[in-house]
Amino acid sequence: MNLIRFIFATAFCSSVLSFELNCLFRRSFHFLVWREIYGCDCWVVHTTGNTIALEDLSRNLQQFPSNFDHFFPNLFDIFLAPSGLTTITAEDLKPFPALIRLEIPDNRIQHVEGNLFQHTPNMRAVGFSFNSIETVGLGLFEGLRGFTAPGSLVSFLGNTCISESANGPEQIAILIQNLERDCLPPITTTTTTEAAVDECPSSCRTLIDSFASRIEQLEMQMKEILGKLQV
C-alpha cells in the first residue's frame, strides 16, 4: 500500500514571520488514507512543498492564526486544540481552499456561522467537540459533497445545544436535522409602524396627493356610468 507522508506540526508565529515546528509521530484517523507521519524539530522560514497538516496546542489562541498560508499554502488538515479559540469564520479558512479536515475541539466557541465552509468546498471531516456551542447557522453543510461520501465525519460532542457525532452520510444527515432543530440562532423580529403623514418627505406627499386625486376622478367616472345605466 502506498504511504503518504506529511508533517503534523505545532506552529508558533514569531515577529520575524517564521514558524517553529515541533513535530510528533502520529498515526492518522481511520477515515483518511494518510498513514505514516515523521518527526522533526526545526525553524521554517518558507516552504514550497506540500506540507498538509497543522496542529496547535498553545492553549492561548485568542484568534485563528493568520498568514501561515504563505508558508503552508497546501494545507488540507488543521487541528487546533485545546487552544482557547473563541471564534472561527469563513474568512479565516479562505486561504485554504484545499482543506479537507478541520478539528477544533476543546476550545471556547459558542457560535458557528452557517457560511463557515463557503471557501472550502472539499471538506469531509469536521470536529467541534467539547466547545460551548449554543447556536449553529443554517446551511453549514449545504453544498459540501464530501459529507455525502463514505468516511465523512462530523462531531459536535459535548456542546451546549447538542452532543452528537456522526460517521458517514446517513448519520450526518440526521445530525444536520438535529442541528437545525436544536441549534438555530433565535429569530429576532422588529416592530415597524407606518410613518405619520407629517413625517413623509415632500416627494412622498406629492405621490399621495396624486393618487388621491386620481381616485377621486375614478369615483366620479363610476357615478356617471352608473347614472347612464339606470336611465
Q: Residue 68 and residue 18: Cα distance in Å, rounded? A: 9
Q: Which domain does 223 fall in, by range?
A: 197-230
For residue 67, being part of any structural domain is answered with yes
Handedness of CA 46, 64, 61, 123 (dihedral sign): negative
- pLDDT (tens digit per residue) in 123-161: 999 999 999 999 999 999 999 999 999 999 999 999 999
Which CATH number does the domain housing residue 144 bear?
3.80.10.10
In a domain, 190, yes or no: no
> Which of 53-57, 114-118, 184-188, 221-225 bottoms out in mean pLDDT, i.e. has the lowest?
53-57
* 192 domain residue, yes or no: no
Q: Is residue 1 part of a domain?
A: no
Angstrom distance (rounded) from CA 119 to CA 80: 19
**pLDDT of 4 higher than 70:** no
pLDDT for residue 63: 81
- How far apart CA 48 and CA 34 sit, in angstroms, is 20
Q: In this structure, is the dihedral angle defined by the CA atoms of residues 200, 203, 208 and 212, taken in order, positive or negative?
A: positive
Please answer whether residues 147 and 174 qualify as being in contact, where contact means their C-beta atoms are separated by less than 8 angstroms: no
Percent of residues, the chain, with pLDDT higher than 90: 43
Summarize pLDDT for 188-204 with one digit per residue, the tens. 655 544 444 455 555 56
Let me know whether 220 and 160 are in one domain: no
Question: In DSSP terms, which residues pair with 11 in a beta bridge?
Answer: 21
Q: What pLDDT shows up at residue 188?
A: 66
Considering the domain architecture, whether residues 156 and 77 belong to the same structural domain is answered as: yes
Count of domains forming the chain: 2
